[in-house]
Each structure stands twice: as structure tokens, then as C-alpha cells.
Amino acid sequence: MRSPQAALRDGETPSPRPRIQAHSPHHFQSTVSVQKLRRFNVLVLVLRVVAFCFSSASSIFMLVNPKGTDSPRWYDFDAFRFVLAANAIVTVYSLFEMAASVWEISGGVTLLPEILQVWFDFGHDQVFAYLLLSAESAGTELARTMKATDTCTANHAFCVQNEIAIALGFAGFLFLGLSSLLSGFRVVCFIINGSRFHL
């Protein structure tokens, strides 16, 4: 190892203490870093809450459709079943993630062990975002096809309510996709720094 004098001679300055600590896996987090992580977690929580609202609203709209006895039902169509299933899954998942987020913000530690939590969040965000988009696209195509048939002429309200449910699902997908970007960021921070703290 070179002596400190040799390092200075070569024009290097010794790294100040916080810099070295920030890149060590077992480090003491500075107050700034903790505050930034907290703000990051609050943003994640907001996205989770919004995604939960949209996907649960979409599920409910699809589920209570329709009220008439002679009207077709959502479970008569595969694509609408897919839409309801995907939205229900995302609703439950968002609920769990909201709880995990609140736990982390209030206690400062993750609900699951840190490495498990960051990979769990990212993996599920990715898969469920793709799942939700796939369901909504299939639902949209079926709704479009149905519009040209007698089903929608006879049961206009049924078709409109399906379209609203699908639109709400698309909004849910948007916020789940944003969450997946943030949880992806956390995973890479974890890979590079060995910690979800990115500073």
C-alpha cells in the first residue's frame, strides 16, 4: 500500500470520512441520506395509494356490472374476467405494499429483510405492471369488438361501465409502472452499494 505522503505527492487528496462510509456496505447513514430516503419512500407510498385506488375502483366497477337480469355478465367474457382478476391482484398487492411502505417510513427498517424486500418489490412491480397492461389491452379489444354487435345495442350501460372499468385499470397501470421504476432504482442501488440508501 502507498503511504499517505505518496498519495499527496501524486495530487490525490485523502477522501473525507462521509464519502468512504457512503460506499461501504456496513455504514453509518448521514442525516441527509436518511431524509432523502424518507422523501423517496413517501413518494413510493403516494404512488402505491393512487395505484390501489384506481385498481380497486376498476375491480368494483367490473364486479357490480350489470344490475339488470337480462344483461350479460362480466364472467361470460374471458377478457373481462382477465381484467377483473388482474385488477384484483394489483389491489391486494398494492395494499400489502402500502403497509410495507408505512412500516418502513415509520420504523426506518424494511418489513422483510432488506435484500428480499427490494427484489420482491421490483419483481412484483414489473410482473404486475405487464399483467395489468396485458389485461387492459385484451379488455379494450373485446370492448371494441362488442360495440359493433347487438350486445352493446341492447345493453348500452353494460358496455359503458366496462369501458370505465378498463380506463380505470389503465390509470392503475400508469402508477404501478412508475412505482416499478422507483423500485428498480432501489434494486440497482442495492446491487451497487449493498444498501437501499443511494447516497
Question: 27, 36, 81, 198: which one contacts its own copies (CB under 8 A)?
Answer: 198
Amino acid found at 71: S
- Residues with Cβ within 8 Å of 105's Cβ and at least 6 positions away in sequence, in order, are 38, 41, 42, 45
Task: Identify residues 90-119 at the interface with its own copies (CB under 8 A).
Answer: none
Q: Are residues 142 and 148 in contact, defined by beta-carbon separation less than 8 angstroms?
A: no
Does 24 bind its own copies (CB under 8 A)? Our answer is no
Shortest distance, position 127 Cβ to its own copies, whole Å: 10
Q: Report the residue number, 72 or 177, with the smaller CB distance to its own copies.
A: 177
Shortest distance, position 102 Cβ to its own copies, whole Å: 25
- Cα separation, 151 vs 153, whole angstroms: 6
Does 76 bind its own copies (CB under 8 A)? Our answer is no
Task: Identify residues 29-58 at the interface with its own copies (CB under 8 A).
Answer: none
Shortest distance, position 88 Cβ to its own copies, whole Å: 18
Q: Report the residue number, 121 or 136, with the smaller CB distance to its own copies.
A: 136
- Cα separation, 180 vs 124, whole angstroms: 8
Task: Identify residues 128-187 at the interface with its own copies (CB under 8 A).
Answer: 130, 133-142, 144-145, 177, 181, 184-185
Does 13 bind its own copies (CB under 8 A)? Our answer is yes
Does 11 bind its own copies (CB under 8 A)? Our answer is no
Q: Report the residue number, 52 or 77, with the smaller CB distance to its own copies.
A: 77
Shortest distance, position 15 Cβ to its own copies, whole Å: 5
Counting residues that bind its own copies (by CB under 8 A) gives 40
Cell numbers at residue 192, please?
Answer: 451497487
List the one residue out of 53, 61, 81, 60 whose CA is nearest residue 158.
61
CA distances from 128 to 25, 59, 117, 183 (A): 31, 15, 16, 13
Cell numbers at residue 155, please?
Answer: 345493453
For 110-157, the DSSP string reads -SS-HHHHHHHHHHHHHHHHHHHHHHHHHHHHHHHHHHTSHHHHH-HH
Return residues touching its own copies (CB under 8 A): 1-2, 4-5, 7-8, 10, 12-17, 20, 23, 78-79, 130, 133-142, 144-145, 177, 181, 184-185, 188-189, 191-193, 198
